[in-house]
Amino acid sequence: MAQFMSRAVLGALCLVTLPLFAANAESSAEFYSKTKLRMVIGAGPGGGNDTYARLVARHFTSHMPGKPKVIPQNRPGASGLVGLNYLYVKAPKDGSAFGTFNRGMLIYNLLDGKGARFDVNKLNWLGSINKEIPLVIAWHKVPVKSFADLKSRGLIVAGTAAGNDSVTLPALINNLLGTKITIVAGYPTGEAMNLAMLRGEVEGRGSMPWTTLKATRPDWVRDSKVNVVMQFSISRHPGLPKVPAAAELAPNEEVRQIIELYAAKNEMGRPYAAPPGVPAERVAILRKAFMATITDPAFAKAAEKLKLEIAAIDGSEMQDMLKRIYATPKAVVERAKEVAKNREPLKMAKIPLEKALAKIEGIKRGGRRVIIKNGGKKVTLRVSKSKTKVTIGGKKAKRGALKTGMDCAFEFKATAAEKIVCK
């Protein structure tokens, strides 16, 4: 009788519980059917993070209940710190926002933390798209072909800001491996660093990801326009079997441990997360949709066309990896902090002001981006609400008034428009 009663009770409970689960599932589908998803991109347009993110945005919708539209929003600044702070503090906590940012932020709390308003281990990790191997590259006209040349002759590389891999990794390589890399900081984006190399302002880059190099500058790889001098990794990438990895160049065990600490984040090279406080059910939905997107054959085909590598890991695995990284012995962490500092004051770039008379070829994000041809090449310029002066027909105008086909005079530094005067 007791057994019969317990089964009866259990059956009754199931009858009560199933509608609750159904209601929750229906609630989430209903929520997402009327909600636009905001994807915060903690990087500027045109670089590797932006390229991957916009590909994810195009395919993510079809794997979400309710098929919400995904709206990418670039929030560059301070090597991803601006975007991640926004995601953690200001973005809604209802499951309608998620984002991606520079992988350097994964260990930022551990090694620096200045200006951070986030706790990496409290984010809801959705997963990572691939592994990233940062490279030291030299323009082909520069007489730097090998790691030995880095130690004897040296190399001048472009960087963004302190805390970004473009500054941190060359400093680490100098301090740990005895190279002579000079860092010129202040370039706002990866594309701006590329342009600086083309103009001869610098001789190379100190942390250009292999996947970004192949995707955004395939001709550089095909035509040997750059020499890949070393890779900042624990082991050699299969695509670069002849290029030495930083860990194998370590002179002792302590140096190897420090290199491995910094290189560990590269295993999670394109991270995606939702802010803390998102209901567990919606975190599960976002995680499932993220992995379904990355493993979708249509996504893989599109990624292959763009020459983007895919080596996905899920959010729960990421959280476990980060816990292990943050358990690194304090003595190793303190030594790692010290050797990541540039021993000389950073040299700051003098970005030239460029001028162009051009027709607007395209408009993106309501005037936040304009596409023009400059020197026969398409250039995407960032138009700031507060910093870019826009004039149309002799009158001050908002960036939203810019239209495709307008003839305008442009003044810009790197990819940032300072003045736009249109007829």
Q: What is the mean pLDDT of residues 99-123?
A: 92
Which of 214, 409, 410 lies closest to 309 in space, CA to CA? Answer: 214
Residue 394 covered by a domain? yes
Question: Same domain, yes or no, for 285 and 310?
Answer: yes
Domain containing residue 395: 353-422
| 299 and 235, same domain (yes or no) | no
- Pairwise CA distance, residues 107 & 165, whole Å: 11
- Per residue in 348-379, pLDDT (tens digit) is 888 888 999 999 999 998 999 999 998 888 88
- What letter represents residue 163's amino acid? G
What band does 282 get if pLDDT is binned at 50, 70 and 90?
A: very high
Residue 228 pLDDT more than 90? yes
Instruction: Let me know whether 32 and 122 are in one domain.
Output: yes
In this prediction, residues 267-290 reach a mean pLDDT of 95
Q: Using the CB atoms, write b or e for 242-280: b if 16+ within 10 Å.
A: ebebbbebbeeeebbbbbbbbbbbbbbbbbbbbbbebbe
Averaged pLDDT for residues 78-88: 92
pLDDT band at 24 (very low <50, low <70, confident <90, very high): very low
pLDDT score for 113? 86
* Helix-, strand-, coil-residue percentages of the chain, each rounded to 5: 45, 25, 35
**11 band by pLDDT with thresholds 50, 70 and 90:** very low
Question: What is the arithmetic mean of pLDDT over 160-189?
Answer: 91
Amino acid at 77: G
- 138 and 228, same structural domain? yes
Q: Is the pLDDT higher at 324 or at 19?
A: 324
pLDDT at residue 157 above 90?
yes
Mean pLDDT in the chain? 89
The mean per-residue pLDDT over the stretch 3-16 comes to 44
Query: Are both 240 and 320 inside the same structural domain?
Result: no
DSSP reduced 3-state for 81: helix
State whether 222 and 159 are in the same domain.
yes
Half-sphere exposure of 20 (CA within 13 A, CB side): 6
Count of structural domains within the chain:
3
> Once rounded to an integer, what is the mean pLDDT over residues 395-401?
96
208 and 275 fall within a common domain: no
Q: What is the pLDDT of residue 190?
A: 86
Statement: residue 13 has pLDDT above 80: no
pLDDT tier for residue 216 given thresholds of 50, 70 and 90:
confident
Domain co-membership, 273 together with 391: no
Q: What is the pLDDT of residue 28?
A: 79
| pLDDT for the residue numbered 373 | 92
pLDDT at 64: 96
Residue 153 maps to a domain: yes
Please indicate, yes or no, if residue 117 is contained in any of the structural domains. Answer: yes
- H or E element that contains 172: helix 165-177
3-state class (DSSP) for residue 304: helix
Residue 163 has pLDDT above 80, yes or no: no
Confidence bin at 19 (pLDDT 50/70/90): very low
Asked if the structure places residue 2 within a domain, the reply is: no
pLDDT at 123: 97
Q: What are phi and psi of 234, to 5 degrees?
A: -80, -35
User: Is the same domain home to 238 and 272?
Assistant: no
Q: What is the pLDDT of residues 113-130, one digit of tens each?
A: 889 999 999 999 999 998
Give the model's confidence band at 40: pLDDT under 50 very low, under 70 low, under 90 confident, else very high: very high
d(C-alpha 397, C-alpha 256), whole Å:
56
Residue 323 and residue 292 share a domain: yes
Instruction: Give 306's pLDDT tier (boundaries 50, 70, 90).
Output: confident
What pLDDT, on the 0 to 100 scale, is given for residue 345? 79
**Same domain as 163, residue 142:** yes
* φ, ψ at 195 (rounded to 5°): -65, -35
What pLDDT, on a 0 to 100 scale, did the predictor assign at position 297? 96
Place of tokens 């040349």: 149
The predicted model gives 286-299 an average pLDDT of 96
**CATH code of residue 393:** 2.40.50.320
* Residue 97 burial (C-beta neighbours within 10 Å; 0-12, 13-18, 19+): buried
Mean pLDDT on 18-31: 57
pLDDT at 12: 44
Those residues with Cβ within 8 angstroms of residue 280's Cβ, 6 or more apart along the chain or in another chain: none
Taking alpha carbons only, the member of 276, 350, 272 closest to residue 318 is: 272
Residue 77 CA to residue 362 CA, distance in Å, equals 24
65 in the Ramachandran plot: left (φ > 0), alpha (ψ -120 to 50) or beta? beta
- Residue 209, domain member (yes or no): yes
| 111 and 167 fall within a common domain | no
What is the mean predicted confidence (pLDDT) over 168-193?
A: 92
Residue 14 predicted with pLDDT over 60: no
Q: Indicate which CATH number applies to the domain containing 53.
A: 3.40.190.150
Q: Give pLDDT, residue 22.
A: 40
